[in-house]
Structure 1
Amino acid sequence: MNTVPGVRTERNGEHMPLGFPSLSHGTIAFGFFNIDTDLLLLDHYFFFADRFCSNVARLAREGDQELSEEAWDVYAIENRSEIGDLMGAIHSIRFSGFIGEVYRHFPFPQNQSEFKQKPEGYRNREVIAEIIGKYGVEVRISIKAARTPSTVQIGEFLISAGVFQELVQYVWLGGYPRWRDGIRPDYVLDMKQAAEESRSWLFSDIGNKLL
């Protein structure tokens, strides 16, 4: 199982990134990790949600291709100890690494009812980019979507097309806590429209997941 330190991958409780099955590395963590930022993590990769959504929308608008190949610009924290301890940061008992520093700036809400992903999280990108620059580097990773055998490669991680749709669904929903008041950023709405209108096999029947 390939997991991020301090990131539990059960699909319940207060855990924000969820565990998704890969074909190459066992269970991998994907998702939001702080309600005040729209930064997403995929194991040791990090990228802002607007970029993820625009990349997905671009794939959707390519049409029905046997093989789609792209390059995504992401942040990578190769030293896993530098990623930090999410559960320790949530409970304010351990603020280590990148995630710990993010939680020092944006603590977990004391009122559980406020635990909702904020659609205005994009406003904190400058702060978050400065923090992650201390721990990670910007890299370009390869993305390959192959009709046969119905897989998507994101960097070194290979997942099924069905799991890829689950990642899209996760962002549409706003992760485990859901978008606050059901309000989604425009870039999420654009991704949904592109996915639903897509003629690509990769997005077949995805509309049922984006309700």
Structure 2
Amino acid sequence: MPLAFESANRGTIAFGFFNIDTDLLLLQQYFLFADDFCRHVVRLAEDSRQKTHEVSWLVYSIQDPTRIGDLMSAIRGVRYTGFIGEVYKHFPFPKKEVEFKQKPEGFQNRAWMIFLLGKWGAIQRVPVRADKENETVSIGEYLFAKEVFHQLIQYVWAGGYPRWRDEIRPDYVLEMKGSLEKAGGWLTRGLVFP
């Protein structure tokens, strides 16, 4: 489930996994796969050790909220609208609460998710800036204090809510943690992995 995080300029925004059968993350209207997020974060931390650094990330974008869909209705199985509705038609919410865990093998459904993203959204490059002077990170139009950016990283490390099934993390998440712990610099200062 995506959770609410405070941006410094746009108020509360949603970030996170939205279906346990896929490794796709949403950041409001942007969608990117978790392994890409992890690689991007590591590269950003390594490149911005000593200075402000700007790059761009390739993401999928669905600008119209009605085309994104209604997550809560899809979870309940009462209405399947937009992109999220199509995902839940294919990968329904589990009937047993104990089965509500993020699946580390979600990447195996990548081809289907790319097909759906192509149908509902568009590929877009978004600017990403790690600003050493202000200790902020911006992703597209969303500006985050360093501490909130750490929360996004910690969310992916944990497997979001409901956490990784059996606490088994995909290799790319483990590699992100190891790389960030070694990165040093202002962007990773204070980052802990619970």
TM-score, normalising length: structure 1: 0.90
* Map of 1:175 onto structure 2: 160
Give the drift of 1:66: 2.0
Contact 2:10 2:142 (C-alpha < 8 Å) held by counterparts: yes
Q: How does 1:106-121 map to 2 (within 5 A)?
A: 106-121=91-106
Unmatched tracts of structure 2, length 5 or more: none
Work out which of the residue numbers 163, 179, 188 in structure 1 matches 2:173. Answer: 188
Q: Distance in 2 between matches of 1:69 and 1:200?
A: 16
Q: Distance in 2 between matches of 1:150 and 1:201?
A: 8
Contact 1:60 1:194 (C-alpha < 8 Å) held by counterparts: no
1:49 partner letter: A
Contact 1:63 1:198 (C-alpha < 8 Å) held by counterparts: no
Q: Percent identity?
A: 55
- Two-structure CA RMSD over aligned residues (Å): 0.8
Distance 1:63 1:81, change over 3 A: closer
* Map of 2:42 onto structure 1: 57
Q: How does 1:96-135 map to 2 (within 5 A)?
A: 96-135=81-120
Q: Distance in 1 between matches of 2:115 and 2:185?
A: 37
* Map of 1:81 onto structure 2: 66
Contact 1:84 1:99 (C-alpha < 8 Å) held by counterparts: yes
* Map of 1:5 onto structure 2: none
* Map of 1:33 onto structure 2: 18
Give the drift of 1:147: 1.3
* Map of 1:46 onto structure 2: 31
Q: Distance in 2 between matches of 1:142 and 1:105?
A: 32
Once the two structures are superposed, residues 35-92 of structure 1 have per-residue CA deviations (whole angstroms, 9 ceiling, x without a partner) of: 0000000000000000000001112222522201111000000111100000000000
Contact 2:48 2:187 (C-alpha < 8 Å) held by counterparts: no
Q: Distance in 2 between matches of 1:86 and 1:53?
A: 24
Q: Distance in 2 between matches of 1:44 and 1:168?
A: 18
TM-score, normalising length: structure 2: 0.98
Once the two structures are superposed, residues 112-138 of structure 1 have per-residue CA deviations (whole angstroms, 9 ceiling, x without a partner) of: 000000000000000011011111000
Q: Distance in 2 between matches of 1:145 and 1:39?
A: 23
**Residue 165 of structure 1 pairs with residue 156 of structure 2:** no
Q: Distance in 2 between matches of 1:103 and 1:166?
A: 26
Contact 1:85 1:99 (C-alpha < 8 Å) held by counterparts: yes
